[in-house]
Amino acid sequence: MTEKALDARPIPKWAAGLLASLSRDRPAVVNREHLASYLAELAQERDLDQTVRDLQQLGWLATLHLKGVWAFVPAGESRPTDPYLDLRGWRAREPDAVFALAGEAAAWHLGYVTRWFDGPPALWLPPGERVPHGLRPHVSLVRLGWAADDARRLGPTPKLLRKKGLDLTAWAGGLPALGPDALLVQLAARPGSFRTWADLVGQLDLLLADCDLERLAELLAGQSASAWQRAAYLLDRGGQRDAGLALLTRRPNERMPAVSLGEGSDAVWSSDYRVNDRLVAPLQQLLGKA
């Protein structure tokens, strides 16, 4: 879409009622079924594909990376800026799709990082779930072994959202997202999947203060011994030493191999957790938070 004055976009007579309905409802995205229902409501027997092509040419619909879904561009707005339009399009096209914002996106919405990560958003998906083909280059996948049935217990509790003053239904743009406990499991099980550790480390105490030991132990079930050790160690580094040691005693496998965290040149060895930390402790030392 060109940088023309969008308030001057033409509204053909055939589109007046349709655009009025869309402007009233202001859907972020629409799919073929949505547009067909609008046309039926207006008793218009216009060809659907032609309608889509015309609205795109006129600048009222913007293309997404998925086929069969489009972003609606209301009057007075330029191009869509919602970073989750593709994900909304996926849900509009496949309402039963199971996924959750993870990593940097979840941390941002919960206030654990202070800068928005401008790369592809991290997504948790259960085993067997796939991202639509057109969306694959535009997301970063995180697999943690949790089944689709586990999705409901991965988010933050209503109590935590109220404590943070976040809307229960719209706090992450209305999309499902990992809560602090699931986010900590991601950090411990797949530390390389989180791309803004330097931003997170300064607020690590906030994240770990929000974690619940019981819930964390439940979500760690089935994870590797190294994930349990790193999770316990991270609790300790975030000012929750008692919780870290308590979590360590609950690991299902008593064996404690030496594990690494990060790949930096400087390292701090923790004999309590048998973690060779090349990531968090060195960053904390740089920040004066050791």
Confidence of residue 8 (pLDDT cuts 50, 70, 90): confident
Query: How confident is the model at residue 1, as a pLDDT?
Result: 43
Query: How confident is the model at residue 79, as a pLDDT?
Result: 76
Nearest to 80 by CA among 141, 123, 134, 30: 30
The model's pLDDT over 216-273, given as tens digits with 9 standing for 90+, comes to 999 999 999 999 999 999 999 999 999 999 999 999 988 899 999 999 889 999 999 9
User: What's the CATH number of domain 6-82, 3.40.50.1000, 3.40.50.300, 3.40.50.10090, 3.90.56.20?
Assistant: 3.90.56.20
Query: How confident is the model at residue 4, as a pLDDT?
Result: 44
- Residue 215 carries which side chain, given as an amino acid letter? R
Instruction: State percent of the chain over pLDDT 70.
Output: 97
Q: Is 81 helix (H, G, I), strand (E, B) or coil?
A: coil
CB 278 within 8 A of CB 261: yes
Q: Is 239 helix (H, G, I), strand (E, B) or coil?
A: coil
Confidence of residue 2 (pLDDT cuts 50, 70, 90): very low
Query: How confident is the model at residue 3, as a pLDDT?
Result: 44
Query: How confident is the model at residue 279, as a pLDDT?
Result: 97
Give the full edge-to-edge strand order of the sheet including 140-142.
Answer: 100-101, 122-124, 140-142
Query: How confident is the model at residue 9, as a pLDDT?
Result: 87
Query: How confident is the model at residue 289, as a pLDDT?
Result: 53
Confidence of residue 136 (pLDDT cuts 50, 70, 90): very high
> Across all residues in the chain, what is the average pLDDT?
93
Work out the number of other CB atoms within 10 angstroms of the CB of residue 203.
Answer: 17
Over range 102-112, report the average pLDDT: 97
The model's pLDDT over 47-69, given as tens digits with 9 standing for 90+, comes to 999 999 999 999 999 999 999 99
pLDDT above 60 for 290: no
Confidence of residue 7 (pLDDT cuts 50, 70, 90): low
The model's pLDDT over 185-208, given as tens digits with 9 standing for 90+, comes to 999 999 999 999 999 999 999 999
Over range 107-122, report the average pLDDT: 95
Over range 139-154, report the average pLDDT: 95
- Residue 87 carries which side chain, given as an amino acid letter? L
pLDDT above 50 for 6: no
Query: How confident is the model at residue 19, as a pLDDT?
Result: 95
> Looking at the DSSP assignment, which residues form a beta bridge with residue 123?
101, 141
pLDDT above 60 for 5: no
Residues of the chain with CATH 3.90.56.20: 6-82
Measured in degrees and rounded to the nearest 5, phi and psi for residue 283 equal -65, -40
Helix-helix angle 213-220:241-249, to 10 degrees:
40
For residue 161, how far is the Cα from the chain centroid? 16
